[in-house]
Amino acid sequence: MKSRDGVLRQTLEAITGADRADRLFNVLVIHPAIAEDAGPGASRAVIAQALNMLLFEDLLARVPAAKLYVERCLDEGRTVMHDHGAVRTVSLAGMGALPVGELAITRILRPLGYALNGLYPLERLRMTGRSHAQSDFPEEIAQFFISELHPERFSAEFLAAVQRVTSTSVDPVTPQADDLLKKLEETRLLSVEEAATLLPVLVSCFGRQHREAALADYEILLAESPEMAWISTEGNAFNHATDRVADVDRLAAEQKMLGQPMKDTVETSQSGRVRQTAFHAARVIRKFRAADGSLVEREVPGSFYEFITRLPLPEKDGRRALDLSFDSSNAQAIFKMTGNAEPSTPEKS
């Protein structure tokens, strides 16, 4: 059976149309068992793969350097192995209708077969990171690296600003989507029509759920945590998507030669098996509320694109599984990609 007849393509085409689905299939590495799954419905692995494909597409639309990189890959006949996506959350009760911290994301990942795969203290950032891997295809379907910021570890002024910014949050998960997630968790299967109904709602969870922040609050957040300042403008959007490559050092050198905005160094984990680097974050224009109630625009850091090389773990039971772990030091260095938030002159709109 050809992948064109598979449930994954049927589901994507129902959401994106044939042309966008074709492009995603051409760009991304998809395990044959997922691409060629004929049903009878959309399994949790198929839905997890589709969600990652849609979020990857969204990231490319927001990060010009990533879009250019992927276009060059297509021109050269190369594909992208999406390794993981990163999401930032806030561990705070009372954020409007949004669940606390990573629960806003893990509640939708669990029915898709995701489970906790690692815990990473990010002490310098006063955050905690957790990785979640898809249980059926842990090496083949992208992981999620979800970080939680702990506002209580900052000043009282900072905490108050976080509360003001996030208090207007809405919950993007509709009652219908919640019912479908419960069904998926119980049966591990939805119809194509149900999957196509659910997925756009899941994609909407990866966005900003609160209204525009006050510029004064943004300045308070930025002074103590560029990460929380980023969350105030971007919310739970994909902070970055990641390409798993064979030699990250060689790739970094090539991208620098092409004039791409590459990070100066490559980060290496304590084990030596995981090496990472990234493009600098895209610059985006966001609106803020001024003291007089008008909206002003400001250029701030958006999302970025990362590269990772993973080596196998030591052999166990005749198999050498890929090292799917992360590294706290690596992660904190990568987080700096969104730390350059120099102010620009506000303009009223």
Q: What is the CATH number of the domain that holds 312?
A: 3.10.180.50
- Share the mean pLDDT of the chain: 95
Hey, what long-range contacts does 309-316 have (CB within 8 A, 24 or more apart)? 309/244, 309/245, 309/246, 309/247, 309/248, 309/249, 309/274, 309/275, 309/276, 310/83, 310/244, 310/273, 310/274, 311/272, 311/273, 311/274, 312/273, 313/273
Buried b (16+ CB within 10 A) or exposed e, 210-238: bebbbbebbebbbebbbbbbbbbbbbbbb
Structure tokens at 281: 């974050």
Give the DSSP letter of residue 282.
P
pLDDT at 281 (0 to 100): 97
Question: Which residues does 231 contact at the CB level (< 8 Å), separation at least 6?
Answer: 88, 89, 90, 149
In which domain, by residue range, is 167 found? 3-348
CA distance 82 to 78: 13
According to DSSP, residue 41 is labeled S
Percent of the chain with pLDDT over 90: 91
Residues ≥6 apart with Cβ < 8 Å to 292: none
Tell me the whole-structure pTM to 2 decimals: 0.95
**pLDDT tens column, 60-80:** 999 999 999 999 999 999 999
- Quick one: pLDDT at residue 13? 97
Which pLDDT band, with edges at 50, 70 and 90, does 340 fall under? low
| 109: pLDDT strictly greater than 90 | yes
Min mean pLDDT across 75-79, 270-274, 319-323 is at 319-323
Residue from 73, 91, 84 nearest 132 by CA: 84
pLDDT-based confidence at 318, cuts 50/70/90?
Answer: confident
What pLDDT, on the 0 to 100 scale, is given for residue 2? 52
Number of domains in the chain: 1
